[in-house]
Amino acid sequence: MRLDKYLSQASGLSRSQARAAIKSGGVKVNNQPVKRVDHQLAADAIVTWGEELVSPGSARYFMLHKPAGYVSANRDSDHPVVLDLLDEYPRGLSVAGRLDKDTTGLVLISDDGAWVHAVISPRRDCEKVYQAELDGEVDEAMLQAFAHGILLRSENKPTLPAQLKVLSGPLVEVRIREGKYHQVKRMFAACGRKVLALHRTQIGSIVLDPSLAPGEYRALSDEEVRSIETG
Active site residue 112: no
Residue-by-residue DSSP string for the chain: -BHHHHHHHHH---HHHHHHHHHTT-EEETTEE---TTPBPPTT--EEETTEEE------EEEEEEPTT-BSSS--SSS-BGGGG--S--TT-EEES---TT-EEEEEEES-HHHHHHHH-GGG---EEEEEEESS---HHHHHHHHH----TT-SSPPPP-EEEEEETTEEEEEES---TTHHHHHHHHTT--EEEEEEEEETTEE--TTPPTT-EEEPPHHHHHTS---
Could you give the CA distance from residue 80 to residue 92 in angstroms, rounded to a whole number? 18
Out of 76, 78, 87, 100, which one is annotated catalytic?
100
Residues designated as active site: 100
